[in-house]
Structure 1
Amino acid sequence: MAEPPGQPSEVGESVISPDRLSMPLGARLPLALTLASVSGLLLGLTKGSMDAGLVFRAENAHRLPTTQTGWFLYHKSKNYNMMLGGVVEGIKQSIRYSVWVGVFFGMEEGVDRGRAAGRRAWGSVATTRERNERRERMLLGEEEELRDVAVGRDCVSSMLAGLGTAGLFSAWNRFPLATAARTARMGAKAGLAFGLLQDAVGVARGRRIGYIEFVKGLVIGEGEQEKGHQAPA
């Protein structure tokens, strides 16, 4: 049976998720927070236990045991301090990683929506015909807005989110200017790399990427112009 007009087929655009990594923010954010929390916990356990072990050795270097029982109690106390220090540092790192990853993903989504709103507002300076078309599109409501946001989900937003997160991190830790600039460059590079990875996954799954569509439009437009010039009169 033929499908009614306006209804997307099962293999059409409806199955292509407009979200990053083909996951909505409601699913992508908890997953990212979980991974960040586990990573921070593992790194904190490793670092905290090593630091606690070194501190214990330094504090007891002047009173090393001289008997077998003393050495047994020494290592037992050292292991206890290492375990406690690892757990405490692991919890701290877990919370720290989760917070900054949440800031990045929230900022990334905010930049996506802000860029979409900027593109929609830019239509107010277009020609009369374009204004009418823009007005008709705006009447479509949230669906058209989400489409604009989906097209703009690319590595540019990720790079800006990384830059903004690095700036907040530098301000929170009161870094000097040179360190803040270096952190900003690292954040921008990390955001760009993560954004390109997301774009690659999106393209592989058929999602439209803003700058890729722009380049394709230029290439296709130039190709059509060349065909028009080469066509016989």
Structure 2
Amino acid sequence: MSPIDTQPTQLQRIRLNPFERVVALTAGASLIGAVGGGYLGGQLAGRQYLAERAHRLPKTADGWFFYQKWKNYRVTYGGFKGAVRYASRIGGCVLAFATIEAMVDRAVGEAQALSSAIAGVTTALGVSLLVKLPRSSAKRAGLAGLAVGLTNGLIQDGLRCAQQPTPPSYISWLSKQTSQRSKTEM
């Protein structure tokens, strides 16, 4: 058995070990980025080709044939460039998020929503530093990362509670606190 197969179930999310989850999420995000980037890159290249040649459009059938032929080449090349660009950007962001989430899960000892929130904030602020956003935009990006990470973590914890008999430790702690309050109020 490899060390990946011996991961404790407390570190699993969506029934995947951390390594499997990081690979699956990164591959899925890269694929989505490639599809969207290919579409946007192809559209941009087609518009750019038209803008560059609008002053001398062809006048014959043969001219239109070669115009469309070269436009299709440029659109395909632009789509390929856009696909690579977006796949690497989105895949890199998701890779960073999933890796930080797995590292925090391992440090805490179990998968919980707090790990996802920390990963969301860290990834958002890291990307903000990388693209040199102004401080106000970085603050908004950090808040958006917190919201997305926390929502992601709470959904995963809800699924874990429904699938496994042992909920995350903070849910057990909250249920103990509420039961102690109800006993003292009586």
Residues 53-202 of structure 1 aligned to structure 2 (within 5 Å): 53-114=46-107, 116=108, 149-150=109-110, 153-202=111-160
2:178 counterpart of 1:219:
yes
Q: TM-score, normalised by structure 1?
A: 0.71
2:8 counterpart of 1:32:
no
**Paired AA for residue 212 in structure 1:** I
What is the rounded CA distance, in whole Å, between the counterparts of 1:75 and 1:108 in structure 2? 48
Please state whether the residue corresponding to 1:22 is helix, strand or coil. coil
Q: TM-score, normalised by structure 2?
A: 0.88
1:56: how far off? 0.5
Pick the structure with greater CA Rg. 1
Please state whether the residue corresponding to 2:58 is helix, strand or coil. coil
Please state whether the residue corresponding to 1:174 is helix, strand or coil. coil
What is the aligned length?
177
Query: What stretches of structure 1 of length at least 5 have no aligned partner?
Result: 1-15, 117-148
1:107: how far off? 0.9
Report the counterpart of residue 5 of structure 2 in structure 1.
none
**Paired AA for residue 176 in structure 1:** P
**Paired AA for residue 162 in structure 1:** G
What is the rounded CA distance, in whole Å, between the counterparts of 2:143 and 2:158 in structure 1? 22
Identity value in percent: 31
Query: What stretches of structure 2 of length at least 5 have no aligned partner?
Result: 1-7
**Paired AA for residue 167 in structure 1:** L
What is the rounded CA distance, in whole Å, between the counterparts of 1:82 and 1:208 in structure 2? 51
What is the rounded CA distance, in whole Å, between the counterparts of 1:220 and 1:188 in structure 2? 29
Q: After superposition, what is the alpha-carbon deviation per residue over 1:10-39, rounded to whole angstroms, capped at 9, x for unaligned?
A: xxxxxx932111211121111111101111
1:221: how far off? 3.0
What is the rounded CA distance, in whole Å, between the counterparts of 2:149 and 2:90 in structure 1? 16
**Paired AA for residue 141 in structure 2:** T
Please state whether the residue corresponding to 1:51 is helix, strand or coil. helix
Aligned-residue Cα RMSD (Å) equals 1.8
What is the rounded CA distance, in whole Å, between the counterparts of 2:47 and 2:140 in structure 1? 31
1:112: how far off? 2.5
Report the counterpart of residue 44 of structure 2 in structure 1.
51
What is the rounded CA distance, in whole Å, between the counterparts of 1:26 and 1:113 in structure 2? 12
1:219: how far off? 2.6
1:73: how far off? 1.1
